Amino acid sequence: MSLVRAWFPWIAGALALALVIGLYRIKTEAQETSGAVRTLDRDVAEARAEVRELRAEIAALDSPARVDALARQRLELEPGAGARARREAEMDGALPAPEARAPR
């Protein structure tokens, strides 16, 4: 019985030391993980900002006015005039007759 009493403070001290070391490691890992999460949050925010910028750029590039201006400038095309529009019934007379294909 006296042997247990003699070793008890050493065992309790070693256990307390192990708990302190374990707690220190857990806190350190939690801080590292928290830093990594903050970095990822910052990266996500930057990526979302870039997506917003790209969507705004797409909207500007797809604007009908810009497309019409480019068609006039580079392709020398003009938007269709209402006077040139035909009704569906008139299209058959305006289009050439389809060519007959030879059977295969």
Distance separating alpha carbons of residues 34 and 43, to the nearest angstrom: 14
3-7, 19-23, 68-72, range with greatest mean pLDDT: 19-23
Segments making up each domain of the chain, as ranges: 2-77
The SS3 of residue 61 is helix
- The pair of structure tokens assigned to 23 is 């707690």
Cα separation, 34 vs 38, whole angstroms: 6
Q: Do residues 68 and 79 touch, judged by C-beta distance below 8 A?
A: yes
| pLDDT given for residue 40 in this prediction | 97
The answer, as to whether pTM is greater than 0.75, is no
Which residues does 43 contact at the CB level (< 8 Å), separation at least 6?
none
* Confidence at 20, pLDDT banded by 50, 70, 90: very high
Average model confidence (pLDDT) across the chain: 86
